[in-house]
Each structure stands twice: as C-alpha cells, then as structure tokens.
C-alpha cells in the first residue's frame, strides 16, 4: 500500500496526523509531510480512516 496526498487539495488541518501520527505530520510551517509513504499492511484500517476523515479528500491509497 502507498499513501498519496494531493497537496493542491490539502489544507493541513492535521486530522490525518491525529489518526496516524507515525505516517502524517503537520509541522510549524503549516504544511503536511508524509513520514512513511508505504505503511505496513497491518495499518490499512488506520490509513482507510485517514482517507475517509480527510475533509478535502486529499488522501488516497494505492496498492
């Protein structure tokens, strides 16, 4: 699985960071950073929650 973020849509509101802080991080510059683009398969449910809860639908998963 690969995490893909459309940074043109992303508002860096940090909801994904609250769900998966080991994958997403919003830094002091107010930009989202993907810390791990290929999380383990045992994190799939967490990644799917981050995709669903993103208010701008800026996150996607690729297999």
**What is the predicted pLDDT for the residue at 15?**
98
The pLDDT assigned to 45 comes to: 98
- The domain 2-62 having CATH identifier 3.30.70.20: the answer here is yes
Q: Of 29, 4, 20, which is closest to residue 12 (Cα–Cα)? A: 29
What b/e sequence results for 29-60 when a residue is b if at least 16 CB atoms lie within 10 Å of its CB, and e otherwise? eeebebeeeebeeebeeebeebbeebeeebbe
Residue ranges in the chain whose pLDDT is less than 50: none
Count helices and strands in the chain by DSSP H and E runs = 2, 4
CA distances from 47 to 28, 29, 62 (A): 23, 24, 11
| Prediction pTM value | 0.94
User: What pLDDT score does 40 carry?
Assistant: 97
């Amino acid at each position: 699985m690969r995490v893909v973020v459309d940074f043109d849509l992303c508002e860096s509101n940090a909801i994904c960071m609250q769900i998966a802080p080991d994958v997403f991080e919003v830094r002091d510059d107010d930009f989202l950073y993907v810390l791990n683009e290929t999380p383990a398969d045992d994190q799939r449910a967490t990644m799917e929650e981050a995709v669903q809860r993103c208010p701008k639908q800026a996150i996607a998963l690729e297999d």
